[in-house]
Amino acid sequence: MKISILYSCTEKYFPYLKLSLNSIPVFSSLEIVVVVNQGLKKRCKSLLKGQLLPGLKIVETPVSMSNMMKAFCLNFAAKNAEGDYLLISDADLLYPPCFWSLLLNALPIDKKTVLHFFVGRLNHKITQEIMAGKISWPDIYQKYEGRMIFYPPRSLLKRALLRISRALSRLANYRVRFYNSQLIYDEIYGSINPCIYHKEFFFDLGGYDEKFIGWGGEDDDLENRTIRAGGINKRIPIIIAHLWHPRIMDFPNYISGSSVYGSKKLS
């Protein structure tokens, strides 16, 4: 049983990718596939330096992209993956030390079962201290301890409920332990990504719809097709950290945000 972690990473996210890879242990049944824009492979390797893990593959897109094509990049990563399971990740995520043992205990899963998790958005101050090397992520990791987490249902009401649910999630955070008398998470919520698909099921679904440009909406679309195909979503009670960062624009015509879901498809 082999697990492939898939990343689609633009150049300005390389510093976050470096931290994300730092949170991943080395073991024989794990490979990492990072897709970068054409011409950026050497720069990515240079920034990662000594963090080139044994199972790491950095793959360039076949052509240079003038806009972020996250759906295409993740599909391309999946085609280059050798694992039985695909862990679809973002470059700004930090995995807790206990994540990997829990994951290995949860696998194998049925072909149509998809694993999801909780995401905790680290606040600005904590993120800065982690990136500067002042504090260690494993030292401040907070486990999910059964607190109530509010997150929007994956339905037509999702967008209308998004702001309300996230406000409620902040209220639920009062039970999160403090680090140096400060909450480390701005919010905790149930998220689509990261997620784990059986590779065969991922390709049965056709992967991500490459008519989506930019990022945002392609994950909602895949989940909707997963449910229609009889997929079963299972959420594992563990928090994966999301590093704070300003909105990053790598391309002049960068498109982001799933709030315009449906209008992001190419005609």
Q: Per-domain residue ranges for the chain?
A: 3-253
Model pLDDT, residue 188? 80
Rounded distance between C-alpha atoms, residue 202 and residue 85, angstroms: 9
Q: Is 41 exposed, middle or buried (0-12, 13-18, 19+ CB in 10 A)?
A: middle
What is the Cβ-side half-sphere exposure of residue 53, based on CA atoms within 13 angstroms? Answer: 23
Model pLDDT, residue 184? 80
Model pLDDT, residue 259? 36
What stretches in the chain show pLDDT beneath 70?
A: 50-52, 66-67, 142-183, 247-267
Model pLDDT, residue 252? 52
Model pLDDT, residue 5? 95
pTM, 2 dp: 0.80
Check: CATH 3.90.550.10 for 3-253? yes
